[in-house]
Amino acid sequence: MARVLVIDATQADRDLATRHLQSAQHHVETAVDAKTGLAALERLSPDVVVLESNVPGLTCPQFIQRIRTHEHTTHAYVIVVSSRPGVAELTAAIAAGGDDFMRKPLVREELLVRVGALERIRGWAAKVFAPHPDPDSPPMSTIPRLVAWQKSDRSIAEDIEQLVGQPLQTRTSTEKLPPRTLGAQMPLTMTSEQTEVRLTVGIDAATIPKLAEICLGDPAATEDMMRDLMRELTNTAGGAFMRAAAHEKVILTCGLPSDLNAEAFAGEAKAAARQQFVIETADGAIHITFELEVLAKALQRVNVKQLTEGMVVARDLHTQAGALLVPAGTRLTASLIERMGRLLSPQVTFDVAGG
């Protein structure tokens, strides 16, 4: 609902505009000339001004200039109406700061659509002028308020139990991991908030042969085999967290796990939220450390040639014919990037969360 000021010397035209606007629940006030119009500007601070081009007391351009210099109505959306608008008249009104024009008599549907343009402009301005997140500052995120975040240890433990085939228990932890820790890390991206949940998983040297025997059937498994197992553990944990978040209508996109060592558990000083916990067997024979951090992940503007595997598309991407090519939230693979290169012009740019 908008506050609308209708300024017109003809009562029938004022009444017609008022009926049209009030039928759409807009708040309407009217004025008959420049003097009463300026007084109404001061009192109402309208969102929209419907201004008859021959308003008594001032020319139409003069009145618009007064609107634009009025401290309470700097951003009012001005629609000029006229019975027979000429090119010179319309040009002068727009040059003075008018936004739109209509012919009399006013048609309800047209008037309401033009008044509704104000909301589209405000929505566009909010996106364009919204402050971009500082990559070095903690993001404002809904994720730490989720039940999925607060109970992530249990949801992850339930999926890891299926992988190792043994019951597991959880406990919070702040302990540092020893230098011989094997680990993996994976990003979970929420492009709508320009946020990333960074999941890190690690096992110490004592756990390596025991986990290798349970999961791989060989306590002397090679380091490459163990790194593959760590990436699988990370994938499993990330999937558990994503499913739990999805129950609360929060959609995350899973990244590719990468190998890490103990230093990766140092934690990010700029994280908006951080938690570390251990999932282990009752006898402590299997001891797996998990860390979750919420970090800012600013979008990048790239073209097709700049795409790399692992990037996440922030918004729906369409072909030139209008067909949906890549839905928002898709993490790019090499084959998808190759397909995009065939179907999109190299000059096309779009927003992604970096891989």
- Domains of the chain with CATH codes: 3-129 (3.40.50.2300), 143-296 (3.40.1550.10), 299-353 (3.90.105.10)
pLDDT, position 140: 66
Task: Tell me which residue has tokens 């201004």.
Answer: 51
Sequence-ordered list of residues with C-beta below 8 angstroms from that of 273, at least 6 positions apart, any chain:
141, 143, 144, 149, 292, 293, 294
Q: What angle do CA 79, 80, 85 make, to 5 degrees?
A: 145
pLDDT, position 120: 66
pLDDT, position 116: 82
Q: How far apart are CA 200 and CA 197, in angstroms?
A: 10
pLDDT, position 73: 45
Tens digit of pLDDT per residue, the chain (355 long)?
Answer: 788 999 999 999 999 999 999 998 899 999 999 999 999 988 888 889 999 998 899 999 999 988 877 654 457 889 999 987 678 888 888 888 888 889 999 999 999 988 887 766 765 555 544 555 555 555 567 899 899 999 999 999 999 999 888 899 999 988 777 777 889 999 998 887 888 899 999 998 899 999 999 999 999 999 999 999 999 999 999 999 999 999 988 888 888 888 987 676 767 667 889 999 999 999 888 999 999 999 887 778 888 888 888 888 877 777 766 677 888 778 888 899 898 888 887 777 778 876 5
pLDDT, position 119: 67
Strands 3-7 and 287-296, bridge-based pairing: unpaired
Strands 349-353 and 312-313, bridge-based pairing: antiparallel
Contact 181, 307 (CB under 8 A): no
Q: How far apart are CA 42 and CA 71, in angstroms?
A: 9
Question: Residue 165 pairs with which residues in a beta bridge?
Answer: none
Task: Tell me which residue has tokens 């230098």.
Answer: 179
pLDDT, position 65: 86
Please give the single-letter amino acid code of residue 52: E
